[in-house]
Every structure is written in structure tokens, then in C-alpha cells.
Amino acid sequence: MTPLLLVSFALAEEPAAGAPVELTVHGNLKTFVLGGKPHQWFEFSDGAETLLGSLGVDPDEALDAYGLAADPFAEGVASGRLQVGVSYGAFRLDLHWAGSAASSAPSTGAAGFGTGVGLTAPELVPLSWSPDTGSGVTLRHRIDRLVLSAKLPHLDVALGRQAVSFGVGRFFTPLDLVSPFGPATIDTEWKPGVDALRLDAYAGMATKVTAAAAWAGKPVFGDDARDEGRPVLDDLVLAAFAQTTVGVTDLGVFAGDVRSEAVFGLNAVSALGPVGVHAEASLTLPNVDDPFVRAVAGADWRPGDQTTLTGEVYAQSFGATKPEDYLDALDSPRVKRGELWEAGQLYAAVAVAQEITPLVSGNVAVISNVRDPSALLSVAIAWNVADNADVALGAYAGLGAAPDPIALDFALDPNTGAPSLAAPTDAALSDAVNSEFGLYPAMGFVQAKAYF
Amino acid sequence: MLTPFALLLGSALAAEPTIEELLAATDDVARGTSSDAVMEMHVKTANYERTMKMHAWSSGKDKTLIRILEPAKDAGIATLKVDDNIWNYLPKVDRTMKVPAGMMSGNWMGSHLTNDDLVKESRLSEDFTYTLTSRPKENPEGLYVITLVPKPEAPVVWGSIVAKIRPDKLPVSIAYNDEKGKAVRTMTFADFKSMDGRMVPGTMTILPADKPGEFTSMTYVSIDFDVKLPDSTFTLQALKP
């Protein structure tokens, strides 16, 4: 426990004699079934097909043998979360275990796709583990919350693993710099916890200043997330965010030292008649590369009691201007650690949420790279089948020019003359990309959730 | 010099509440200058039933904080309204989201309640013009019947409202009509009991006119009136549990 937290706790009013200890236990169980069809990235060149033909080998079977065939995939995922909370006066301890079992390793979400369960977040203190099942099932366990907090007069203090969010963006989140969700994360119910010390100081009704120190190294699972040779403190996110309300407008100012880079930001949320509007911008000053700006502006409107429209436009000076540079952008440390997911520079998004019945809601969203042009379409229907049970059905589809198949050749061993498959060059991979969201395969899912 | 008869008559007349008093009492029937309540909501429709439990604090008509206790999947979600500002807190993702007032239309959580029912932004005694349609002696139910029409600038969607109120100022029912005068829903008050030293309806029920058999009921588990709430109750700090 840090001295700061000790001092804060000392400032807290002592719980009244006989103050009850409150224990709350909740949790959930979820199951997913996913299926889709990835893009066919590879094919054999004419010469390679001739060679395979001379050997009596079917090219499709050869692709399959090399693991390069774009076969349809299906995956089953089961997950659970147990939430235990203990409160005593002004103090509270939260402990959440989250576990998942999948027929393959869940996506990290860094590239945008993910179920949202079994997510990996940076861990200064390793509290994730994946036992060897000796089968094709991947088991993951994580302590996703372990946070001690105190609610003091005008001050909240929290130390430990907790969710940390900044910003007001819906699809695009320039100020949410710690483990934001990707654009195609199916289940965004729980934001992964990170190891942090957080202070929220309040003045008046709606003025607050948040100061947080969160560790945000590599999002690897069940392993030491610290980069060898890189000082641990270099991966800290030190952030200060001040917010106040003027009339019906919330205004916020952000300043931070994010992984040793200075980041500044502004945001605002207000209303223009019945339309809610929001805007946010950040300026990042890297130590080596050029400064870059990220900015989003959006609106929410309910044209009827059952319909909600949301739209956003987003621009960033980080990112590629040409499709052949997207893979480099996606391979950048910023994308890999989940700081951002956009490979391009100019985007627009719109979503329609429709209450079909009081228990059934539909959601259609389109996130578009305006310059490609390409888009990610998502459609989902959720049914509240009981007080504590939901079923959801949905699909994602990348709309835009799919990558061109890369022609693979066989290289002959100069000593033995035996043919071996030549790995595609980075340039060939990059040149194959035609649009950002054209990279996304089509995918569908069914999800069932139960809570207790 | 006043005769005994005149005194009695004067006393009787003085005891009769004014329309303003009746409406104000209806507005404050479960509110007071401030309140701290735990309530259960039960929704019954032709196809489903749902229950919810929440903790609500209020001060005047401009400050409300509601935290959902049950069902488990929504536990911890909180809504704060102060004047024209509304925020929702989503604990699972640590996000506090500002909600424009224009986004608060429609039913709340699949119930027959509107968001305005929860935050009680409008008041019968302030946002409507009213006419006393019937006195207790003039109808078999022995109730005051008051017809209300919203003022042009009032933040309500109803065309007219008919309130039936007992002589002791306790409401029995409020019927809501659309702008064409067609019945939309009725709110009834029942199970009157003394809670925190005040006679209040233990249960309020919303009955939609176009869906016979359906209802949403709100039952108070506990309620304290005119409590001294800390200044921090209606702040962003209070949104977080």
C-alpha cells in the first residue's frame, strides 16, 4: 500500500461502531459460438502450380497442407466472472476472477477483432494464468479486478487492478489510452482492469479532477509483460483529467505522460436542442517521431422513443494514407499495445439502435475509412430472455476491396535441388492490401449470457 | 359578530384544500423536500415479467440520484440528474456519460414508466393549468377531480391529465391523455401506509390504456422523507458506488 493511500485512509472518517460489513457477490456466465470465413491471402503462382501438377499434388490440398488455406472457421468460447465486493464504511475491496475456455486462443483485440472475453490487458503484477489442458481447449484465468478504494469527503482513492477510462468518444476514443476496445469487439460489457493508482477529487456538483498512474506495457497473457531492457516506469500512463460543467456543457482538459510521451487533450459534451453533441481531441508528442493529432466529433439523437442514432467523424495524423502502408501501421507498437486501432487517417461512423420490442433491440453500425473507401458493418440483435439472461445474435462484415491473393513460389535448394515454399516478402504482403476494412473477414456469432 | 354556524362554516371552508395544495401534495406524495427510498419495480406484459430494485435519492424537483440494485446484470448503473444535466455511470467500463435531455424520452428499462416519471422533472402544480372538474360531494367516489393542461413551455408530452385526489390530499389516480384526448395510461396509488411518519401510497401502478392486463408497479421497500442528505449526494462522486 502506498503512503498516499495510507494517508488517505487516515483522513477517512472512522466507520461508526457497528457499521456493517457489506458483502456482495455477483457474476456471469457467457457462451459464444463464432464462425466466419477469412480472406484467401495466398495462392500458388503459375510456376508453382505447374511444379505441383508435375508432382501430382492438388494446389488446394497443398495450401491446406501448408496451413495457408482460408477455410471457414468456427470457435466456441465459454467464460465466467465472479465478482466479490466487500464494503466497510468508506472502504471497499473488489475482487473479480474472469475465466474463459475457448477452442482456440481468444484474440487479443489488438487488431480490432475479439470476443471481449479472455481479453488481455497489461499487467505490472502478473495475475493471469493459462493452465496446460493437453487438449485443443485454451483455458485462461485472470484476476481482472483487485482494487482497494476509499470514498472520502470530496476524494475517491483507488489502488489496484481496475478499469480506467478517459474520454467521451463512442467509436473513436482519442483520450482512452489504456486498453480501449477494438471496433469489432463483440462483448464490450467489461473493460479489462489495469494496475493503477487513481485519485478523483470533486468540487461542487460536477467538477472533478482525476489523477491516475496506470501501467500500460505489452498486453500479453500470463507472461511477464515488461519489455526486456525497458524500464518499467517507461510504460506508465500518468494522466490528469479535469472536468467541469458550464450550463449543460461538460468541458474537460487532459494532460498526461503516456509511456514517456506527452499527451494533451480537450473534450466537450453538450446538447443542441434534442441532439447531444460531443467532441474530443488529443495531441501526442512522441520522443522520436513527429507529433500527431487525433480528433473526433459526434452526435446522438433520438428521432423516436424507440430509436437512437449516433454518428461520429474522426481524423488522425497518425496512420497511413495508402493501403500498401496499412500493415506497417497495424504493426506499430501503438496498435499492438491497443492504444489505437485505426490504420488510416479519416473515418466516419454511424449507428442505429432500435428497440424492436421492450425486450428485443437491434443495432446496426458502420465504421468507415472514408479514403479507401471501406467499411466495417456490424449487425446485432439482443433479446432479454429473463431478468438476468440475454441472448445476442450478430455479424460483422468488412466492406471494401479485399486483399489480393499473394502468389507463392517454390524455391529450389541450391544443394539438394529440393523445392521449398518461399515465404512472401513484407513488400508482397503490403502490396496485397487494398483497403483497411477489406482486411476484416466476415464473421457471425451467437452469444448467451446469464447473471447472478 | 360571527355566529357559531358561521364559525363552523368558516372552519369547514378553511379546511378544504385548495387545488394548488392538492396538486402539490400529489407531486410530493413520495418525494417530500428530500427523500431516500428503496423501491422495487415489477413489469408485467403479455409476454414477459421483469423485476428491478433500485435506491433513489431526491431533493426538490431538480436533484435525483438513482442506483440500480437488481437485477444483477445492471447492478451499479446509476443516473444523476441535477437541474438540466443528466449523467449515467457505467461501472463495468468506468464511464460517466452525459445524457442530453432530449435522449430521455421513451420508456425506462422496458417498463411502462417514462424517464420523466423517474426524475420527476415536471410538476402538476407548476407545469400545468388546472380546472377543478368535480368536488368530493359531486361524485360517488368522494374525490377531487382536477383536469390539467400543460403550459406551452412545460417539459411534458401529455395533452391533458385528470387527477383524482382524496380529501386528505392523497392521490388515487392520474389519467394521462394524448393531445387528441385519447387515454394513454393511468397511474394508480394504493396500499396507503405510514412510512417515516407520513401517509404514502406503498404501491404506484402504471396501467397502459392500449394494453389491457399489462402494468408496471413501483413498491416502496423503505422511504425516508425530508432527510438531510449530504451535499455530495447529488454530485459526480455519488454516481460511483
Other beta carbons within 10 Å of B198: 16
Q: Which residue has the higher pLDDT, B212 or A221?
A: B212
What ranges do the domains of chain B cover? 18-52+107-229
Closest CA to A393 of A373, A412, A407, A379: A379
Residue A13, pLDDT score:
46
Query: With 80 as the cut, is the pLDDT of residue B187 above it?
Result: yes
Residues from chain A that touch B234, judged by Cβ atoms under 8 A, are: 205
Residue A113, pLDDT score:
61
Q: Best residue in B45, B57, B77, B85 to probe A by mutation, most A CBs within 10 Å?
A: B85
% of chain A surpassing 70 pLDDT: 90
Checking ipTM against 0.90, whether it exceeds it is: no
- Identity of residue A365: A
Place of cell 446484470: B73
- The average pLDDT across B10-39 equals 77
Residue B118, pLDDT score:
63
Distance CA A249, CA B139 (A): 50
> Inter-chain contact A165–B94, Cβ cutoff 8 Å?
yes
Is the minimum CB–CB distance between A46 and chain B shorter than 8 Å?
no
Distance CA A283, CA A176 (A): 13
Q: Which of A64-68, A315-319, A329-333, B208-212 has the highest mean pLDDT?
A: A315-319
- The average pLDDT across B158-173 equals 92
- Closest alpha carbon within chain A to B109: A358
Interface of A with B in 179-208 (CB under 8 A): 188-191, 200, 202, 204-206, 208
* Residue A153 Cα, gap to closest chain B Cα (Å): 8
* Residue B77 Cα, gap to closest chain A Cα (Å): 12
- On whether the CB atoms of residues B2 and B10 are closer than 8 A, the answer is yes
* Residue B135 Cα, gap to closest chain A Cα (Å): 37
> Inter-chain contact B72–A163, Cβ cutoff 8 Å?
no
* Residue A286 Cα, gap to closest chain B Cα (Å): 27
For A352, B10, B160, B161, B187, the CA distances from B184, given in Å and listed in that order, are 27, 40, 10, 10, 10
Distance CA A423, CA B184 (A): 70
Residue B8, pLDDT score:
43
Residue B11, pLDDT score:
44
Other beta carbons within 10 Å of A394: 18
Query: With 60 as the cut, is the pLDDT of residue A367 above it?
Result: yes
Residues from chain B that touch A204, judged by Cβ atoms under 8 A, are: 235
% of chain A surpassing 90 pLDDT: 51
Residue A7, pLDDT score:
42
Q: Best residue in A205, A249, A250, A355 to probe B by mutation, most B CBs within 10 Å?
A: A205
> Inter-chain contact B98–A168, Cβ cutoff 8 Å?
yes
Contacts of B12 (CB under 8 A, 6+ apart): none
For residue A8, what pLDDT band results from cuts at 50, 70 and 90? very low
Query: With 50 as the cut, is the pLDDT of residue B113 above it?
Result: yes
Residues from chain A that touch B50, judged by Cβ atoms under 8 A, are: 384, 387
For residue A332, what pLDDT band results from cuts at 50, 70 and 90? confident
* Residue A117 Cα, gap to closest chain B Cα (Å): 13
Grid coordinates of A147: 482494487
Grid coordinates of A102: 475457448
- Tens digit of each residue's pLDDT (9 = 90 or more) over A171-223: 999 999 887 888 888 888 899 999 999 999 999 888 999 999 998 876 655 55
3-state secondary structure of A303: strand
Is the minimum CB–CB distance between A358 and chain B shorter than 8 Å?
yes
Residues from chain B that touch A191, judged by Cβ atoms under 8 A, are: 92-94
Domains of chain A are 22-451 (2.40.160.10)
Option in B72, B94, B236 nearest A191 (CB): B94
Distance CA A256, CA A264 (A): 6
Grid coordinates of A8: 488517505
The mean predicted confidence, pLDDT, of chain A is: 86
Domain B18-52+107-229: give its CATH architecture. Answer: Clam (2.50)
Query: With 90 as the cut, is the pLDDT of residue A60 above it?
Result: no
- Closest alpha carbon within chain A to B230: A153
> Inter-chain contact B235–A271, Cβ cutoff 8 Å?
no
β strands within B113-226, DSSP E: 128-134, 144-150, 160-165, 171-177, 183-195, 198-208, 215-225
Residue B1, pLDDT score:
43
Residue B26, pLDDT score:
87
Contacts of A211 (CB under 8 A, 6+ apart): A198, A199, A201, A239, A240
For residue A5, what pLDDT band results from cuts at 50, 70 and 90? very low
In angstroms and rounded to an integer, the radius of gyration of the C-alpha atoms of chain B is 19
- The average pLDDT across A441-447 equals 92
Among the residue ranges A220-234, B86-100, B221-235, the one predicted with the least confidence is A220-234
For residue A80, what pLDDT band results from cuts at 50, 70 and 90? very high
- Tens digit of each residue's pLDDT (9 = 90 or more) over B53-109: 999 998 887 888 999 999 998 899 998 988 888 898 999 998 998 887 766 666 776
Q: Which residue has the higher pLDDT, A107 or B35?
A: B35
Q: What is the DSSP string of A314-371?
A: EEESSS-SSGGGHHHHHTSHHHHTTS----SSEEEEEEEEEEEETTEEEEEEEEEETT
* Residue B150 Cα, gap to closest chain A Cα (Å): 20
CB burial of A97-134 (b: ≥16 within 10 Å; e: otherwise) equals bbbbbbbeebbbbbbbbbbbbbbbbbbbeebbebeeee
- Tens digit of each residue's pLDDT (9 = 90 or more) over A279-291: 999 999 998 888 9
Instruction: Report the DSSP pairing between strands A292-304 and A307-316.
Output: antiparallel
The whole-model pTM stands at 0.83
For residue A19, what pLDDT band results from cuts at 50, 70 and 90? low
- On whether the CB atoms of residues B63 and B222 are closer than 8 A, the answer is no
What does the angle CA A226 – CA A227 – CA A231 come to, to the nearest 5 degrees? 80
A–B interface: beta-carbon pairs under 8 A: 117
